Amino acid sequence: MSKEIALNILNENIGNTLIETLDIKFIDIGEDFLVASMPVTPKVFQPDQILHGGASAVLAETVGSAASSILLKNGKKIVRGIELSINHLKAVNSGKIIAKAKAIHIGRTMQLWNIKITNENDEIVSIAKLTTLTLQK
């Protein structure tokens, strides 16, 4: 499947979800990675007007789970995130953040992803690790 087709599939299947609500878009894909972006607007702020860590966590889990799903290339399976660990390193109050999920381990049933979230200046905002589980549909 081409890169464009894979990204179109991912971006078309987000209607009526938290992914759509937060305006997350899948923007790049490779053999062992997936990249998504999310605008930093007041709807993802915590009360003191900076990016809420929970919104970063949603972005991290979204890009890692989608990476497992699309890179496994098997429509007879479903993917579930089973553990997410995230560290927030830099505050953001505007622009967009970009998350890149890169495979650490892709097993038959379990996958481990490193997710680096950066701002538009390529400064690290958060680092996450996600474990996903692949199950029969």
Which tens digit of pLDDT belongs to each residue from 115-131? 999 999 999 999 999 99
What is the rounded CA–CA span in Å between residue 25 and residue 34? 11
Which are the contacts of 133, defined by CB distance < 8 A and separation ≥ 6? 79, 80, 82, 109, 110
Read off the pLDDT of each residue in 64-79 and give the average, rounded to a whole number: 83
The mean pLDDT value of the chain amounts to: 94
Read off the pLDDT of each residue in 69-76 and give the average, rounded to a whole number: 75
pLDDT per position as a tens digit, 25-48: 999 999 889 999 999 999 999 999
- The CA dihedral of 110, 114, 118, 124, to the nearest 10 degrees, is 150
Residue 30 confidence (pLDDT): 92
pTM of the model: 0.94
61 among known catalytic residues:
yes
Q: How many helices (H) and strands (E) does the chain have?
A: 3, 6
Catalytic residue among 4, 20, 61, 120, which?
Answer: 61
